[in-house]
């Protein structure tokens, strides 16, 4: 996990709201109305802002080429390939005993 400097202490409001310190808002380009993904982790609560830059990086990632396989088929093929690799690895490990 990347550290950005000293730890900041914040308080939660009655509604569960918290103010992100200004230096972190600037560093992560958080503006009014910026949405965030909130996840429970083993270390606590993780808040990931969904900024314009982050959205643009992923724009078109699921775009299919004309005549190409549908995403669902491509994903199923990927998972089958991954499973075959895991099974081959397991077979090698089981055979070496």
Span 13-26, pLDDT tens digits? 999 999 999 999 99
The string of pLDDT tens digits covering residues 77-88 is: 989 999 999 999
Which tokens hold the place of 61? 């990632």
Mean per-residue pLDDT, 48-64: 71
Q: What is the pTM of this model?
A: 0.48
Quick one: 73 and 39 in the same domain?
A: no
Quick one: 45 and 78 in the same domain?
A: no
Task: Read off the CATH number of the domain in which 30 is found.
Answer: 2.10.260.10
pLDDT over 70, % of the chain: 81
Q: How many C-beta atoms surround the C-beta of residue 54 within 10 A?
A: 13
Quick one: 2 and 29 in the same domain?
A: yes
Residue-range definition of the domain harbouring residue 87 = 68-97
Quick one: 40 and 4 in the same domain?
A: yes
Task: Answer yes or no: are the C-beta atoms of 54 and 37 closer than 8 Å.
Answer: no
The answer to whether residue 88 is domain-embedded is yes
The answer to whether residue 34 is domain-embedded is yes
């Amino acid at each position: 996990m990347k550290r950005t400097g000293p730890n900041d202490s914040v308080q939660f409001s009655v509604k569960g709201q918290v103010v992100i310190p200004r230096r972190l808002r600037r560093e992560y380009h958080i503006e009014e109305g910026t949405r965030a993904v909130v996840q429970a982790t083993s270390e606590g609560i993780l808040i990931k802002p969904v900024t314009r830059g982050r959205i643009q990086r992923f724009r078109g990632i699921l775009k299919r080429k004309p005549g190409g396989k549908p995403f669902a088929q491509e994903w199923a093929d990927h998972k089958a390939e991954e499973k075959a690799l895991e099974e081959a690895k397991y077979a090698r490990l089981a055979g070496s005993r």
